[in-house]
Amino acid sequence: MFGLGNRKVLKYSAIETSLSIDVEDTVTCFCRKARRKEKDAGTTEDPKLYLEEAALERQLPELDLRMLVDLPPGLDYNEWLASHTLALFDHINLVYGTISEFCTMTGCPDMTGPGLRTYLWFDEKGKKTRVAAPQYIDYVMTFTQRTVSDETIFPTKYANEFPSSFESIVRKILRLLYHVVAHIYHCHFREVALLGLHAHLNCVFAHLTLLNQRFNLIDPKETEILGDLEAALLGKFYTLSPRPSLRPLLPPMRY
């Protein structure tokens, strides 16, 4: 697990899932049906449990979801990005930590996502390497922790300013965190659901998706693999125009 230093971030309150007590039976039943469909279709794609209606839970009401990402008037754009980036890092890190024991070198020899997507790690010299999912995610979390702890990049002191390249750095962090979320949905959603954390994961995904919709921070080629989840979870109503909002200043959202 990784810490976040002393910068204030958007905090999520504890989520009480409404999933019924027979969640294990529901998950097992769906997996059996999905395997039968997969066998009949002759495909190697894993079943998408996260698209089941019973799994499409989230905890924020409609208005809060939209207001969560709108830039309040008078607030610095980079400061807004920093707060959301830290919150997303915090909660994606926490969610992954709950299922990390199931993400092993043997069970997840490649860093994969839906649609048979495989992610390669690019080192500081631009060399790409194929690594197991737990190693890839460790690289992501280590890189992000080091970056957000760097006072020259994520300043916490009043006199310090954000670098001119700050948005591009945020783009890279969010892209990598998106890979982690995609892997969790693709390979470990069953464990997430059995732990009763699916609503929390969906809320984190909604947060990341709406922030991206508002500020165009992640390449569409990266997000298309979870486009079906985005449509099912958020729907057309939640499509946001890519521009800052002029809403009144809001208190920090909790979810």
| Three-class secondary structure of residue 120 per DSSP | coil
5, 182 in Cβ contact below 8 A? no
134's tokens: 């737990």
Judge whether 207 is annotated as a binding position. Answer: no
Residue 29 labeled ligand binder: no
Burial tier of 205 (Cβ tally within 10 Å: 0-12, 13-18, 19+): buried
Give residue for tokens 């894993």: 46
Segment 98-102 long-range contacts (CB within 8 Å, at least 24 positions apart): 98/192, 98/195, 98/197, 99/184, 99/188, 99/191, 99/192, 99/195, 100/134, 102/188, 102/191
Q: How far is CA 99 from CA 26, 134, 165, 201, in A?
A: 19, 11, 34, 12
Q: Which residue type sits at 13? A: S
Q: Is 183 annotated as a binding residue?
A: yes
**75 neighbors 249 (Cβ within 8 angstroms):** yes
Helix (H) or strand (E) holding 119: strand 117-119
Check the annotation: does 108 bind a ligand. Answer: yes
Instruction: Give binding residues for Zn(2+) as ranges.
Output: 103, 108, 183, 188
Instruction: Give binding residues as ranges.
Output: 103, 108, 183, 188
